[in-house]
Amino acid sequence: MPSEFDLIRRHFTRPAHHTELAVGDDAALFTPRPGTQLAVSTDMLVAGTHFFADTDPEALGWKTLAVNVSDLAAMGAEPRWALLALSLPAADDAWIGALARGFFACADAFGVDLAGGDTTRGPLNLCVTIFGETPVGSAITRGGAHRGDDIWITGSPGLAALGLAHLRGEITLRADHARRCLDALHRPQPRVAFGRALRGVASAMLDVSDGLLGDLGHILECSNCGAIVDTNALPLDPLRAAGADALLARRCLLSGGDDYELLFTAPATQRDALVALSRQQALPLSRIGTITDTPDQLLLREADGSEHTTPHNGYDHFA
């Protein structure tokens, strides 16, 4: 019977496209293109903390890579290589095969070579490191937001959180809505092309993994500024249409994580360009607020015009 090592080798060995030496030596070898800066990130996904142990392994394979790809999208960088380290309890051929299928579906979708990795026995844990390129000086960090900048969000944030609420039995969604929300949760679509198009346009950016307000707080902290979010401008319609009441829709949108949409700031002079880009890439875009110069102050402006501060409700794994 083949060992897990054999199974990993069989399912995870694929031809590399732009890697001089991939899986099988002490290190992988590759050469970033001249004039580029390397953008690198690592994310560890742990069974029981980030996903249920019985999660569909193909979806898990996709998501494991996708959340890392999303980190590069949030820098405006182009993903190029990845390493996968995994710790596995006893696992069977079908499970590892499905994991690999999902992983490579995402790798192929975003032009990523699996350049190497590590396999060991232990509690289920998947750790991807991703490497991308961006022209020197073009990366979009969290630290560049200025007073008066608009605040924008891509797509329909909150669908993943609504899917999770459905899984937890807090709400029962209609089958087609459940499918769409669970797809957002299990197969997030990193906004790589959109992120690249924002080079020279966005002043600060990150991807929403822990909740919109909490992640906006990271921009405020890094940029030493504040923000007013206009609740009227929030893209709540997709959540309402999927069956969430007003309160749940708002909670999912503002505090839910796992959507991997891009949250960014840009000068008001970029509005037309951004609306055009949204149309061109067929990706909805919502202008949800404005950057202020009051450090770390996050205000919500309600429909009646009243304003109130809000804590940064990011999801804390240790809370």
Dihedral sign, CA of 59, 61, 62, 66?
positive
How many CA atoms lie less than 13 Å away from 282 in the CB half-sphere? 0
Shortest distance, position 234 Cβ to a copy of itself, whole Å: 23
The residue length of the chain stands at 319
Question: What SS3 state is found at 287?
Answer: strand
Whether 119 has a binding-site annotation, put simply, is no
Q: Are 208 and 215 in contact (CB under 8 A)?
A: yes
Whether 3 has a binding-site annotation, put simply, is no
Say how far apart CA 286 and CA 275 lie, in whole Å: 9
Q: Are 204 and 225 in contact (CB under 8 A)?
A: no
59-118 positions binding a copy of itself, by CB under 8 A: 71-72, 74-75, 77, 81, 83-87, 115-118
Whether 50 has a binding-site annotation, put simply, is yes
Instruction: Check binding of 15 to a copy of itself (CB under 8 A).
Output: no
Which two three-digit tokens encode residue 234? 């929030």
Shortest distance, position 71 Cβ to a copy of itself, whole Å: 4
157-216 positions binding a copy of itself, by CB under 8 A: 205-207
Which two three-digit tokens encode residue 274? 């951004």
Distances (CA, A) of 24 to 12, 21, 118, 131: 11, 8, 10, 19
- How crowded is residue 301: how many other Cβ atoms within 10 Å of its Cβ? 17
Question: What SS3 state is found at 163?
Answer: helix
The region of 9-17, 133-141, 159-167, 232-240 touching a copy of itself under the rule CB under 8 A is 133-141
Whether 142 has a binding-site annotation, put simply, is yes
Q: Which is nearer to a copy of itself, 166 or 196 (CB)?
A: 196
The region of 103-111, 137-145, 226-234, 279-287 touching a copy of itself under the rule CB under 8 A is 137-145
Instruction: Check binding of 20 to a copy of itself (CB under 8 A).
Output: yes
Instruction: Check binding of 139 to a copy of itself (CB under 8 A).
Output: yes
Displacement of CA 112 from its chain's centroid (Å): 16
Instruction: Check binding of 313 to a copy of itself (CB under 8 A).
Output: no
Shortest distance, position 207 Cβ to a copy of itself, whole Å: 6
End-to-end Cα distance, the chain: 43
Instruction: Check binding of 154 to a copy of itself (CB under 8 A).
Output: no
Instruction: Check binding of 125 to a copy of itself (CB under 8 A).
Output: yes
Which residues does the annotation place in the binding site for ATP?
117-118, 142, 209
Binding positions for a copy of itself, rule: CB under 8 A: 3-5, 20-21, 24-32, 34, 37-44, 46-50, 71-72, 74-75, 77, 81, 83-87, 115-123, 125, 127, 129-132, 134, 136, 139, 141-143, 205-207, 222, 316-319
